[in-house]
Chains A and B, each alone.
Chain A
Amino acid sequence: MSILGTRVMRVEDPKFLTTGGVYVDDLRDPRLDGAGHVTYVRSVMAHARVTVDGSAAAALDGVLAVVTRADLADLAPPPVPLGFIPPALGRPWLADGVVRYVGEPIAAIVTESRYAGEDVAELVSVDYEPLTAVVDPRVSATDETLLFPDHGSNTALAFEAGSLDGLFDGCDVVVTQQITNQRVAPVPLEVRGTACVWEGDGDDARLTLWASTQSPHGARDQIATALSLDPDRVHFIAPDVGGGFGAKFGVSVEDLLLAVLSRRLGRPMRWTETRTENMLGMGHGRAQLQTVTIGGSRDGRITAYSLDVLQDSGAYPHFGAVLPFMTQLMATGTYDIERIAVRTKSVVTNTAPVVAYRGAGRPEATAAIERAVDMFAAEIGLDPVEVRRRNLFAKEAFPLTTQVGAAYDSGDYAGALDKVVAAAKYDELRAEQQRRRDSGDTKLLGIGVSSYVEITAGPEAGTEFARINVKPDGSVVVYTGTSPHGQGHATSFAMLAADELGVPIERITVVHGDTDLVARGGGTGGSRSLQLGGAAVHQGALETVDRARELAGDLFEAAAGDVVLDKARGGFHVAGSPDDVRGWAEVAASADAEHGLIVDTDFTAQGATFPFGAHVAVVEVDAETGKVTLLSMTTVDDAGPVINPVVVEGQRHGGIAQGVAQALFEEVRYDEDGNPQSTNLADYAFPSAAELPDFTLVDMATPSPLNPLGVKGIGEAGTIGATPAVQNAVVDAVAHLGVRHVEMPTTAERVWRAIQDAREGAK
């Protein structure tokens, strides 16, 4: 029987549950003995000219260096994080005369001890000459105050699809709404941290750098480019990583600078940021202002949709500036809408850079269309589930290309919706809602639905590396270019290898996150890992079996074509002669007595995949206070066949919680001068267990034709479906009072005000 699809407990967990993981700050590598501790002095103003004087600090005992931009004048600026981004909008190593957000690094202090770094940071003198802070992206878009005068505009990027001409002609009903998809913080529990050491001299010098990253190979290349080094001169290691959620893809300027400081001072260096620094400086997610317009007929057919996006990129464009492209690509969602137009613009502001955050551009698309469909349903007085059913792409239509150019591989959107509605007992919920309304109960019930589709391992067809090494003792080491940080690849990928090799997973080790041990890799992000990295392991295992049959053929003096693998016995025999079995150990040793059998492979997908699903959220809203309580989440998240249900359920749970958190609780706020108002976990509404219910997961598995496992990505799906389901539920709870929309997060104050405004409007 295949191990695939069975509930295998994670092989990673014993370490985490006994000695704890080894994250960057836990490293006790002797090469890091005597490391200098780096502390960054960060801007306290959003937009200002700055003059820095570190001389008083530099003179103190225990201070190894105080470094400012002037000390780094010989370095070319760090490369922009993505090729799309105009170089004029790139960030400097350290603030170069002007700061552009609160938290921007101005100086780096190197001290003998970590405590001393915090003491000394306060002694670096920074003079600020305030400039006009541009915080609101709508103000930025006017270009009245330019953040980068050399660029000549505050617009970093713009994308568009479809024509606005006559878009809503012929519609009986047209509904429009401005929606804020608010800025949120990724908040991995482990903050950023880096350690590094140089070994050797001159051209032979080699950097070893450990960082909390999702993509060690990409990060290695980033560092090599920034320091004008051959990539072979950099050994990059991602040790255990305490969560990333997109925000740790690549490395940041603070990581890069460590390598520079280490080289110049001739000492190993360490840096671990504080949570406050993380909230100020790692970057945030979402941050779109949207205008949706939806039109159709009174019988519930949607025929036209437009989405206008103003993306707040923050001070220095990063992934966030590019993500509206993904929002555009997924704009139509699960709906077959005849005419669609999208306009997006990404602008800079004096706030922290916007980066990738779980879903990264797709949750924003789903949130927009799912609110729009609900508002359309409310306008024509039809049940939101029924309106969805009348507009979903039909199961028979796949594969298909949407009006905005996305090539959906496979799907059954109506099937997902029907399943989730049945599992949530939707009709009973509607009856209970009506009963409460009729009885004058102040605890109102809200039922929210979302139907979603997203893109994973895209937008281009991806590739990933795997090596299968069968050792001469018959054990197996799998090397992968993905870089898990909680996703359980050591378990799932061992299962994939075990399934083809007939070697028990106890004898399979998975290696990742080390650029010296793994030849190449794309890391973990965008829900790419299983469908690319897992498929590469699968492909590599098949190739290993083929190679082993040749080797066994030599041992048997038989043709490889006559040799079969008996997976149950973990060995090879000649077809028809099952008694003479040569085990993996013998066959691998025959390839190379020392190293065994090694097979390298690169898997390239035929295209991005499109997981989909449907969520039902149920909330209770106190009509007197506006307080929202989430009662239940029932979800279908179809990412194709499941390799390990334990891992996939975990991904769904975590994703759902983050989606719920955006709808109900979380928001990164700045005041009008660009001062951050949510700089730690006391101010930022990160939910605890007490704010969330159990989640009800409904299974569904529609294979993708684009990879041999038929799998799609599950890492972000829960987040994408949950946010609009919960927001729709909150609005639904108070819709009968005349409320049409409530912005996220749907705090008690917002809901209470919406109820009051609706009552005022009704007078």
Chain B
Amino acid sequence: MNLTVTVNGTAHTVDVEDRTLLVHLLRDHLDLTATNIGCDTTSCGACTVLLDGESVKSCTVLAASVDGQSVTTLEGLAEGERWHRVQEGFRSKHGLQCGFCTPGMVMAAVSLLDENPSPTADQVRQGLEGNLCRCTGYHNIVAAVLDAAAAKPVTS
């Protein structure tokens, strides 16, 4: 089937199998490989992207269902050289090690801060429970998101 989807601001018309998952559309058809696959059960959140601004796990979304919608992946988060405050927070607080969960974790955190701009540490922990990390023990991820929350959002 043919579908049109805007990814990181660019419109793409692609021909995919009906059963294609959004994460495979991104990775295999558009070569946007930041978004990772870590499980088969929608448990780990490594594939988290923004769909019309809200976080979704792209391994459990059919590509066909996003026809006409807009997707943001990690690759599209920075505005040129200017990083999103969540990216800055993860860098300054060392909120990553192997980097595999990072794209999904960052996108989930962006969505979390959109919904709750001033979360407590506990709210960050609860808000990110759908995103798993094996390296950091979450300590620095929580610090990174709180750091991002404390930073002033960039207004364009």
CB distance from A457 to the nearest CB of B (A): 20
Residues A189 and B44 in contact, CB atoms below 8 Å apart: yes
Residues B98 and A243 in contact, CB atoms below 8 Å apart: yes
Chain B residue with the shortest CB-CB distance to A245 = B134
| Whole-angstrom CA separation of A10 from B136 in the bound complex | 14
Instruction: Mark contacts of B111-133 with chain A using CB atoms, 8 A cut-off: 1 yes-contact digit, 0 otherwise.
Output: 00000000001001110111111
Residues A692 and B44 in contact, CB atoms below 8 Å apart: no
CB distance from A303 to the nearest CB of B (A): 38
Interface segment among A22-30, A100-108, A307-315, A732-740: the answer is A22-30
Query: Is B151 interfacial (CB-CB < 8 Å)?
Result: no
Query: Is B71 interfacial (CB-CB < 8 Å)?
Result: no
With known contacts A17-B83, A689-B129, A694–B46 Cβ distance under 8 A: no
Residues A486 and B99 in contact, CB atoms below 8 Å apart: yes
Chain A residue with the shortest CB-CB distance to B17 = A115
Q: Which residues of B contact A14 (CB under 8 A)?
A: 91
Residues A242 and B36 in contact, CB atoms below 8 Å apart: yes
Query: Is B150 interfacial (CB-CB < 8 Å)?
Result: no
Residues B135 and A654 in contact, CB atoms below 8 Å apart: yes
Query: Is B33 interfacial (CB-CB < 8 Å)?
Result: yes
Instruction: Mark contacts of A374-415 with chain B using CB atoms, 8 A cut-off: 1 yes-contact digit, 0 otherwise.
Output: 000000000000000000000000000000000000000000
Query: Is A87 interfacial (CB-CB < 8 Å)?
Result: no
With known contacts A14-B91, A17-B91, A688-B132, A653–B137 Cβ distance under 8 A: yes
Q: Which residues of B contact A10 (CB under 8 A)?
A: 94
**Of residues 84 to 116 in B, which have CB atoms within 8 Å of A's CB atoms?**
87, 90-92, 94, 96-103, 106
Q: Which residues of A contact B96 (CB under 8 A)?
A: 13, 16-17
Residues A9 and B36 in contact, CB atoms below 8 Å apart: no
Interface segment among A89-97, A220-228, A667-675, A679-687: the answer is A679-687
Number of interface residues of A (CB under 8 A): 56
- Contact among B31, B39, B90 with A17 in the assembled complex (CB-CB below 8 Å): B90
Query: Is B41 interfacial (CB-CB < 8 Å)?
Result: yes
Report the tally of A-B residue pairs with Cβ distances under 8 A: 179
Residues A690 and B38 in contact, CB atoms below 8 Å apart: no
Instruction: Mark contacts of A493-523 with chain B using CB atoms, 8 A cut-off: 1 yes-contact digit, 0 otherwise.
Output: 0000000000000000000000000000000
- Contact among A17, A191, A646 with B38 in the assembled complex (CB-CB below 8 Å): A191
Residues B38 and A190 in contact, CB atoms below 8 Å apart: yes
Q: Which residues of A contact B77 (CB under 8 A)?
A: 18
| Whole-angstrom CA separation of A21 from B138 in the bound complex | 19
**Of residues 646 to 677 in A, which have CB atoms within 8 Å of B's CB atoms?**
646-647, 649-650, 653-658
Residues B137 and A657 in contact, CB atoms below 8 Å apart: yes
| Whole-angstrom CA separation of A680 from B100 in the bound complex | 18
Q: Which residues of A contact B99 (CB under 8 A)?
A: 12-13, 15-16, 20-21, 240, 242, 486
Instruction: Mark contacts of A163-202 with chain B using CB atoms, 8 A cut-off: 1 yes-contact digit, 0 otherwise.
Output: 0000000000000000000000001111100000000000
Query: Is A6 interfacial (CB-CB < 8 Å)?
Result: no
Residues B98 and A190 in contact, CB atoms below 8 Å apart: yes
| Whole-angstrom CA separation of A655 from B39 in the bound complex | 22
Residues A241 and B129 in contact, CB atoms below 8 Å apart: no
Query: Is A443 interfacial (CB-CB < 8 Å)?
Result: no
- Contact among B35, B102, B125, B136 with A653 in the assembled complex (CB-CB below 8 Å): B136
With known contacts A10-B94, A18-B74, A189–B133 Cβ distance under 8 A: yes
Query: Is B43 interfacial (CB-CB < 8 Å)?
Result: yes
Q: Which residues of B contact A188 (CB under 8 A)?
A: 98, 100, 134
Q: Which residues of A contact B121 (CB under 8 A)?
A: 694
With known contacts A18-B78, A653-B137, A274–B34 Cβ distance under 8 A: no
Please report A residues at the B interface, Cβ cutoff 8 Å.
9-10, 12-23, 25-26, 28, 114-115, 187-191, 240-243, 245, 274-276, 485-488, 646-647, 649-650, 653-658, 680-682, 686, 688-690, 692, 694-695
Q: A20-B99, A243-B98, A682-B42 are in contact. List 12 more A-B contacts (CB 8 A).
A: A13-B94, A13-B99, A187-B134, A188-B98, A188-B134, A190-B38, A240-B99, A650-B97, A681-B39, A686-B132, A688-B132, A692-B138
Q: Which 9 A-B pairs give the minimum distances between C-beta atoms? A: A20-B34, A657-B137, A242-B100, A486-B98, A486-B97, A16-B99, A681-B43, A26-B33, A689-B138
Residue pairs across A and B with Cβ atoms less than 8 A apart, 15 shown, are A20-B74, A25-B37, A28-B31, A189-B46, A190-B98, A243-B135, A245-B134, A649-B94, A653-B140, A658-B134, A658-B137, A680-B41, A682-B41, A682-B42, A688-B131
Please report B residues at the A interface, Cβ cutoff 8 Å.
17, 19, 27-28, 31, 33-44, 46, 74-75, 77-78, 83, 87, 90-92, 94, 96-103, 106, 121, 124-126, 128-142
